[in-house]
Amino acid sequence: MNTQTKEQAPLLSEEETLKLFTDSGALLHGHFKLTSGRHSDLYYEKFTILKNPAVCEPLCRQMARLFSEQQVEVVVGPTTGGILIAYEVAKELGVHSLYAEPGESGDKRIFKRGFSLDAGQRVLIVDDIVTTGRSMFEVISLVESYDAKIVGIGAMLDRSGGAIDLGYPLSALTTVSADSWTPEDCPMCKEGKELTQRGSRSS
């Protein structure tokens, strides 16, 4: 059963949340290959946030407050960063957290280690940064396969500028629009700028 989150300071605005990313050094400029395979001149290094409890915990606490009225029964996040966020958000909500790992084929998520969901269980899905929504879509498909009820999706940062449609309401702490290009259309590739690979996936 859920417990109410403790009384907190007022919620940060989107601008204040984005400033946390910037001030912590999580916002990088350069020529980056994203996990989607697209190229961008901006990259948000989530692990700069996730390694710092003084920044990560307040953001997760704020995310939990966004869903405190949704009667969440379990929080699910994708590996790797989503594990930390799901745990912290679940801790604030007083529920369990699970994490979804890549399957052997690499094109879907599965539960391991005896994890599972009950039909009708009220699930909150969380992650750090949403760009194309690939990881989110995989987790959504996994949760739906158990006939659980998705009551919301939370993210620290929506990098799509609000354009992503996950099929469920997305509540992001802050939203930005960052340009990205296919490798064929990337202006920095045409200029010969060195490409940096970021993230845990190669495509």
Question: 160-189, pLDDT tens digit by residue?
Answer: 888 899 999 999 998 888 788 999 999 999
Tokens for 10, please give them. Answer: 């007022």
Tokens for 123, please give them. Answer: 């699930």
Q: Name all domains of the chain by residue range, CATH numbers in brackets.
A: 14-197 (3.40.50.2020)
Instruction: With cut-offs at 50, 70 and 90, classify the pLDDT of residue 11.
Output: confident
Q: Facing residues of 174 across strands?
A: 157
Question: 114-170, pLDDT tens digit by residue?
Answer: 899 999 999 999 999 888 888 999 999 999 999 999 999 999 999 888 889 999 999
pTM of the model: 0.84
Residue 134: how many CB atoms within 10 A of its CB?
16
Instruction: With cut-offs at 50, 70 and 90, classify the pLDDT of residue 2.
Output: very low
Measure the CA dihedral 107/111/117/120, to 10°. Answer: -10
> Is beta strand 122-130 parallel, antiparallel or unpaired with respect to 109-110?
unpaired
